[in-house]
Amino acid sequence: MNREGYSFIPKYINAFWVNNSLFLEESYIPGKTLDEIIRNDLKERKQVMSNFKNILLIIHKLHKFDDYIIHDISPANIIFKRFYLIDFESFSKSEVKVSTLYGTRGFFDNDYDMNDQTIDYFALARVYYFLRNAKEYRQLSEKRQSFQLTDSEIQKNLWFKKCMNHSYKNDEDWLVDYEKYVGIKQ
């Protein structure tokens, strides 16, 4: 993945295991994670939301040209100044049978057992939701067992609903609907 045109991914340095956990050592990327931004900075949160389509385009590039599924998209794994994705320990080729699918709690659909692009759509819709609802994000990250998605406006949004239901069949429809239902309303 460390090749020209992929400047949105830090340079891989090393990987190592501690007990049963895989760690990746990557080059340092300046900026804040979306996790930090959601918790602390309303102005920067609005800036991220107004540029959110850029992260969708990054995911589209990985889907279309490399056929990769990221699996673990969450606010802690996205750095913003420009957008960077980090923590690639669980990405895989699309439609490849993998024994275990997992991701960050709250950004992964435990009831969905397919390895397809809709896993990433689901996670990105959740990231967008929590950018709009920082209080609920803080509740989620405080390890509460359950949480409710309460933003009724976004719950009615067709793009969000289709992401949550794994209804998209391709990135093109996903991106068009984002523009149609989310992009102009930010």
Q: What is the pLDDT of residues 99-110, one digit of tens each?
A: 555 567 777 777
The two structure tokens encoding residue 139? 């509740």
> What's residue 1's pLDDT?
47
- Are the CB atoms for 47 and 59 separated by under 8 Å? no
**130, pLDDT greater than 60:** yes
CA distance 73 to 108: 8
Confidence grade of residue 2 (pLDDT, cut at 50, 70, 90): very low
Task: Name the pTM for this structure.
Answer: 0.78
Average pLDDT over residues 142-150: 67
Could you give the angle at the alpha carbon of 124 between the alpha carbons of 180 and 104, nearest 5°?
Answer: 165
Confidence grade of residue 6 (pLDDT, cut at 50, 70, 90): low
Percent share of the chain, pLDDT over 70: 78
CA 99 to chain centre: 21
> What's residue 145's pLDDT?
54
Least Cα distance to 44 among 8, 16, 72, 80 occurs for: 80
CA distance 132 to 154: 9
Q: What is the pLDDT of residues 31-66, one digit of tens each?
A: 898 999 999 988 999 999 988 998 898 888 888 877
